[in-house]
Amino acid sequence: GPAAAPAAAIVAAFGVLGVLVTSRHPRNPIGWLFCGVAVTGSLMSLSRGVAELWLDGNGVPDWIGETAAWYGDVSWILVILPAATFLLLLFPDGRLPSPRWRAVAWCAGAGIGLLFVADSFDAGRLGDYPELSNPYGVDTPALDAIMGIAAIALTVAIVGSPLSLVLRFRRAGRGERQQIKWLALAGAVAAVTFVIALAGYDLWGSEVSDGAIMLSVLMIPVAAGVAIL
């Protein structure tokens, strides 16, 4: 659909900028973060494609089709959340603003990991494929506890990460402030687009809204890459 092209563009942007940043600044973990997002995003797109082939009855073995649908459903966690937390915490020089922010970084890592585990083994139906039950679902109350811990950790990370960038901006010199302005502008455009696109879902359809949201998200790695380079 129309949303597939922006999704591919986002993955390509993260990949290209990841290679550019790591080649020029190999010690800056943001470049490696971009490469990681590109890989997980590529696998997500591939999985969704295989799952659609399987659901259309194109001869894909059941276990491959089910696994592809499962990964395509849960992999957004590995694509979106690292960019929403670690990119903001480490931008632009790849270091935390101060050692006190390690707790927020640990919360981000633990929250992403635990949410991925909880979502991966949730015994319900797959969110993106409601006709399918999770082939790897486990019915255990332990998953509720894991989900609860993940929610707390991610709340700390998602509130703390942009706050760290605000505090970094206040202490930064002129050059670093210009870098942060690039990322802040892209983030603001993405946020406004997200609100307008959600509000207009019924007016112009989900595909237009999804495409607009993904295009605005595409601006974030581009702005970050331009600022670092």
DSSP 95: S
Q: How many CB atoms lie within 10 A of CB 57?
A: 8
**CB–CB of 64/50 below 8 Å?**
yes
DSSP 96: -
List residues bridging with 182 in a β-sheet: none
- Pick from 99-108, 165-174, 187-196 the range whose average pLDDT is largest: 99-108
Q: How far is CA 145 from the centre of its chain?
A: 23
Mean pLDDT of 119-141: 91
What confidence category does residue 6 fall into, taking pLDDT thresholds of 50, 70 and 90?
A: low
Q: How far is CA 59 from the centre of its chain?
A: 31
Higher pLDDT, 72 or 2: 72
To the nearest 10 degrees (0 to 180), the angle between helices 174-199 and 142-171 is: 130
Task: Please tell me the pTM assigned to this model.
Answer: 0.83
**What is the structure's pLDDT at 2?**
43
What confidence category does residue 3 fall into, taking pLDDT thresholds of 50, 70 and 90?
A: low
CA-closest candidate to residue 176, choices 86, 103, 97: 97
**What is the structure's pLDDT at 4?**
63
pLDDT in tens, 8-48: 778 888 899 899 999 999 999 999 999 999 999 899 889 98
**CB–CB of 3/210 below 8 Å?**
yes
What confidence category does residue 99 fall into, taking pLDDT thresholds of 50, 70 and 90?
A: very high
**What is the structure's pLDDT at 70?**
95
∠ CA 72-226-170 to the nearest 5 degrees? Answer: 100
pLDDT in tens, 140-182: 999 999 999 999 999 999 889 888 888 888 888 888 888 888 8
Higher pLDDT, 217 or 65: 65
**What is the structure's pLDDT at 223?**
85
How far, in Å, CA of 117 to CA of 86, rounded? 19
- Mean model confidence pLDDT for the chain: 87
**What is the structure's pLDDT at 1?**
46
**What is the structure's pLDDT at 121?**
96
Token digits of residue 84: 């929403």
**CB–CB of 160/107 below 8 Å?**
yes
**What is the structure's pLDDT at 213?**
75
The dihedral formed by the CA atoms of 174, 176, 181 and 184, expressed in degrees to the nearest 10: -150
φ and ψ at 140, to 5 degrees? -145, 140
Rg of the chain over Cα atoms, rounded to whole angstroms, equals: 19
The H or E element that residue 211 is part of is: helix 206-228
**What is the structure's pLDDT at 12?**
86
**What is the structure's pLDDT at 109?**
96
Residues 6+ apart with CB under 8 A from 26: none
Mean pLDDT of 89-110: 93
